[in-house]
Amino acid sequence: MISYSGLDEAGLTRLAGRLAGAVASGGVIHLAGPLGSGKTTFARALLGALGVRTRIKSPTYSLIESYDLGALGALHLDLYRIAAAEEVEWLGLRDYAGGRWLWLIEWPERAPEAIPAPDLIVRLAHAGDARDVALVATTALGRQWLEQSGFIETRQAGTVS
Ligand SMILES: Nc1ncnc2c1ncn2[C@@H]1O[C@H](COP(=O)(O)OP(=O)(O)OP(=O)(O)O)[C@@H](O)[C@H]1O
Ligand SMILES: [Mg+2]
């Protein structure tokens, strides 16, 4: 786990932007943290760094927004308004199986069984006026992202840890 304390908005934006090169082949990022902790800010910064030039709306009401980035498609979800996993059914997430999708999911804990499991969890917390951020890789792909974007050192072949 990588953690940063007391990041201002510019710092959080830079941190999200650093991941862009690594995640461009697709995967799943869960954005966890209380109301107003910076989940949408992180998603916007990452999508912007990936090349989204249109306005990036918070999916608070639409629940899902998608972006076409050529070879990569990005899906930005906000499940805050979901009360039960069954309510995610009508989003038709199965249609996005296969292909190269990058998932950015706010409030994943609302319907964990209805969404893809994370490769990386971004945990955000209020820290006064700033934010604490933790990056937790939960798969080999997530770990690779953190290595490629320089957050953690590349594990040497033969190293046991
Ligand atoms: N690192 C930061 N330091 C200070 N303020 C920040 C930081 N990141 C975001 N903010 C501000 O916090 C507010 C809430 O941010 P944001 O909408 O990204 O949170 P959220 O976690 O997506 O909220 P919600 O749970 O409602 O979806 C915004 O006004 C944003 O500008
Ligand atoms: Mg949000």
134 alpha carbon – ligand 1 mean position (Å): 15
The pLDDT of residue 94 is: 86
List the residue whose alpha carbon is closest to atom 25 of ligand 1: 35
Q: From the CA of 10, give the closest atom in ligand 1.
A: 1
E strand or H helix at 4, and its extent? strand 2-7
Q: Is 13 in the pocket of ligand 1 (CB under 6 A)?
A: no
The pLDDT of residue 87 is: 87
8 Å CB contact between 66 and 157 = no
Q: Considering the domain 2-82+98-148 in this protein, what is its CATH number? A: 3.40.50.300
Ligand nearest to the CA of 32: 1
Q: Is 38 in the pocket of ligand 1 (CB under 6 A)?
A: yes
Q: Which tokens belong to 26?
A: 């697709």
Dihedral angle over CA of 26, 143, 5, 125, nearest 10: 50
22 alpha carbon – ligand 2 mean position (Å): 23
Q: Which tokens belong to 151?
A: 């957050």
The pLDDT of residue 154 is: 83
8 Å CB contact between 106 and 75 = no
Residue ranges in the chain whose pLDDT is less than 50: none
The pLDDT of residue 99 is: 74
What are the structural domain ranges in the chain? 2-82+98-148
